[in-house]
Amino acid sequence: MALKLDGRQLAAEIEERLQAAVERCSKSAGRPPGLAVLRVGDDPASGVYVANKEKACSRIGIASYGAHLPASSTQEQVLDTINSLNADERVDGILLQLPLPAHLDEGPLIAAIDPDKDADGLHTFNLGRLLKGELGPRSCTPAGVMALLRRHALPLEGRRAVVVGRSILVGQPMALMLQAANATVTVAHSRTRELERVTREAEVLVVAAGRPRMIGAEHLSPGAVVVDVGIHRLPLPPDAPEGAKAKLCGDVRAEEIEELVSALSPVPGGVGPMTVAMLLVNTVVAWCHRHGLDHGLDDLVV
Ligand code: NDP
């Protein structure tokens, strides 16, 4: 049976450490850390994600300065809000919740966030810092994957790692982080030929293709470590009772590979909770930096 890479458990441990850091440093800082989640419009899934992030903030003592703008907001109005959060001394982290309404252009808006307040680690400047191995806020999902691998002492140095997916949000920074950990990394994408041959080479496989249940036993070699980043809501059966909750699945057919692989992250409860935990880490680390305080979280800052 594969080792379960339990993100829920690790995220809870990280939250405890963050809570302790917030308690320890609040007096010297003179204020709690602050995170501003900026939401535009009424995408229902975003509403749930934002509520979860704000709940996590309150658990560990981060103040939330969320702003919710109407779907009809112009690019200038969103930009103005970002600029005022950049200038707000109480705010250490800013997160622009995606997706935005279709008439808005996310690139210039993310670029307008102060890179040192970039809680999601998606600013061009911070992706450059990652590329060059300089410290800075890291993209939360791949940083969460790295924390999960390290927590279970799964070796990366010299290992063959394959990342399926090359998005700026997940695949690209994931590949850079694995490479920084001295893995030999291959990145596969939708134009990759003979994907199965490529993924069978993997000792560590990270799947972030956004394709429900696409990876199965035919893609894997025995003993591989598999991290499933994908998350999808399965459609409810037509006879589902009212109020029934949709089941979630990942990019991996977990039940098919459990006996084959050495470690596997579950969906839900794997990478998802780690993404939120790393958002909190980025915020607390930025707060400590602004006040010249030691955060004691070096092992989480990849
Ligand atoms: P994107 O759609 O932006 O990127 C998907 C990537 O996968 C692209 O690079 C694409 O290739 C590649 N791809 C698509 N189909 C195939 C295929 N058949 N074979 C090989 N590669 C393929 O998605 P994201 O990176 O934003 O997210 C990926 C998944 O991770 C989604 O399910 C998303 O919901 C989930 N996610 C989960 C998070 C969490 O916290 N658990 C956080 C963020 C994302 P190409 O570049 O050629 O188009």
d(CA 84, CA 112): 11
Q: How long, in residues, is the chain?
A: 302
pLDDT of residue 26: 97
Q: Would you state the structure tokens that stand for residue 11, as one six-digit string?
A: 């995220």
Contact between 66 and 88 under an 8 Å Cβ cutoff? The reply is no
Q: Which CATH number fits domain 30-114: 3.40.50.720, 3.60.150.10, 3.20.20.70, 3.40.50.10860?
A: 3.40.50.10860
195 lines ligand 1 (CB under 6 A): yes
Equal fold, 30-114 vs 140-273: yes
Task: Convert the pLDDT of each residue in 281-302 to its tens digit.
Answer: 999 999 999 999 999 999 999 8
DSSP 249: E
How many angstroms separate the CA atoms of 104 and 73, rounded?
Answer: 9
What does the pLDDT read at residue 140?
97
Peptide bond into 173 cis (omega under 30): no
Give the residue, by CA position, lying nearest to ligand 1 atom 31: 210
| pLDDT tens, position by position, 12-67 | 999 999 999 999 999 999 999 999 999 999 998 899 899 999 999 999 999 999 89
32 preceded by a cis bond (ω within 30 of 0) = no
* Domain layout of the chain by residue ranges: 30-114, 140-273
Which architecture does CATH list for 140-273?
3-Layer(aba) Sandwich (3.40)
Ligand 1 and 145: CB distance under 6 A: no
Assess contact for 260 and 222: CB atoms under 8 A.
Answer: yes
